[in-house]
């Protein structure tokens, strides 16, 4: 399943006519019938969905979910018993989805569904009742690690914590169930970009929050911050990277800074690191994490690599989003009891070996 800290409802593929991916047999579960006691669940507890669930013509609880990458999923709410490490959680609510649109069908064909992990009442972590979870996303195709509960290990580097930001007043553009932190600055090779603090603070509508979202691939920055980072990165890489001069090419609609890299080059040149500075913590993005080779794009004898920071404004996203690509090889701890997120740079494949994970 896709681990998604940016969404609420967990769901499984239930379309048994699909043969290109694993599916869950919907005849083995109970579909929520809205006329029964589940009506409050269907209407009240789905208010934080992008579109609240509703009763369909069959009196089933129908949900349509949409995501930041423009993908979507549609189906009905259901419940079943979930067992984790011997502990049973009866009546766990999830989505049994039979249709949808994927922006990355190759990757999604490998998955059974999605595990919603935000702070909403129907998220997996909320229904399980755990007060802390942690994960480590490997920088390669190796499996990652997901832990529920305490993770106080002597071999783990001390975590730097940044507080979660909460706003009690409902605002139109502020996602109250997201993991929101305070981004305070951006560095390129230790050079702090000259941006006012106000650029990173949500405005009176709630626009401008910074969300940690493992379900989004790359990182998105609002216009002023993105432009400053883009210009400085181009300035510092002018001697080693050749900018793709094609105004008509924008990767995935939001990544307009791309480079031409010779196909015969065995590796990328040395690049300046980018530091995301949070209140009390920092995530450093370096090396191959900074550029993504666009599959199938070739210009002459060059491949096309795009900068892995995108412009939120191009996607009409009113937020900063820290995607999973920039969380690779970072131990991410979500302490819900103390309302904070801890980070430490680690080798996730080596961390996995400590738990007996073999690849």
Beta-sheet pairing, 302-307 with 258-262 = antiparallel
Q: What is the DSSP letter of 137?
A: B
Q: What is the 3-state secondary structure (H, E, C) of 231-300?
A: HHHHHHCCCCCEECCCCCCCECCCECCEEEEECCCCCCCCCCCEEEEECCEEEEECHHHHEEEEEEEEEC
- In three-state secondary structure terms, 299 is strand
Question: Which positions are catalytic?
Answer: 4, 213
Strands 11-13 and 87-101: parallel
Pick from 82, 81, 42: which is nearest to 58 by CA? Answer: 42
- Structure-token pair, residue 141: 């195709």
Q: For the purposes of burial, counting CB atoms within 10 Å of the CB of 140, is it exposed (0-12), middle (13-18) or buried (19 or more)?
A: exposed
The Cα 359–Cα 349 span in angstroms is 9
Report the distance separating Cα 330 and Cα 283, nearest Å: 8
Tokens of 96: 């049994």
Select from 227, 229, 262 the least CA-distant residue to 244: 262
């Amino acid at each position: 399943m896709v681990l998604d800290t940016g969404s609420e409802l967990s769901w499984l593929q239930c379309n048994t006519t699909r043969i290109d991916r694993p599916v869950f047999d919907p005849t083995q579960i109970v579909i929520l019938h809205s006329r029964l006691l589940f009506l409050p669940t269907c209407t009240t507890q789905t208010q934080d969905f992008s579109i609240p669930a509703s009763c369909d013509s069959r009196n089933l609880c129908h949900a349509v979910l949409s995501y930041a990458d423009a993908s979507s999923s549609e189906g009905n709410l259901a419940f079943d018993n979930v067992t984790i490490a011997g502990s049973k959680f009866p009546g766990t609510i999830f989505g049994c989805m039979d249709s949808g649109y994927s922006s990355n069908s190759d990757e999604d064909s490998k998955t059974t569904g999605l595990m919603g992990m935000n702070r909403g009442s129907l998220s997996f972590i909320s229904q399980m009742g755990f007060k802390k979870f942690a994960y480590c996303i490997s920088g390669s195709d190796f499996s990652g690690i997901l832990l529920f509960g305490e993770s106080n290990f002597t071999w783990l580097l001390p975590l730097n914590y940044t507080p979660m930001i909460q706003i009690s007043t409902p605002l139109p553009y502020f996602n109250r169930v997201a993991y929101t932190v305070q981004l305070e600055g951006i560095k390129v090779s230790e050079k702090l970009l000259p941006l006012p603090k106000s650029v990173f603070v949500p405005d009176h509508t709630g626009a401008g929050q910074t969300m940690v979202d493992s379900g989004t691939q790359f990182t998105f920055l609002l216009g002023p911050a993105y432009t400053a980072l883009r210009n400085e990165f181009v300035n510092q890489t002018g001697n080693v990277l050749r900018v793709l001069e094609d105004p008509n090419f924008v990767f995935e609609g939001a990544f307009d800074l791309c480079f031409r890299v010779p196909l015969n080059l065995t590796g990328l040149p040395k690049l300046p690191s980018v530091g995301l500075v949070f209140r009390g913590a920092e995530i450093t993005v370096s090396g191959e994490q900074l550029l993504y080779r666009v599959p199938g794009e070739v210009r002459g004898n060059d491949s096309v690599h795009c900068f892995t920071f995108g412009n939120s404004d191009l996607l009409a996203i009113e937020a900063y989003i820290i995607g999973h690509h920039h969380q690779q090889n970072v131990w991410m701890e979500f302490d819900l009891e103390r309302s904070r997120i801890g980070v430490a740079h680690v080798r996730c494949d080596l961390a996995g070996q400590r738990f007996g994970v073999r690849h």
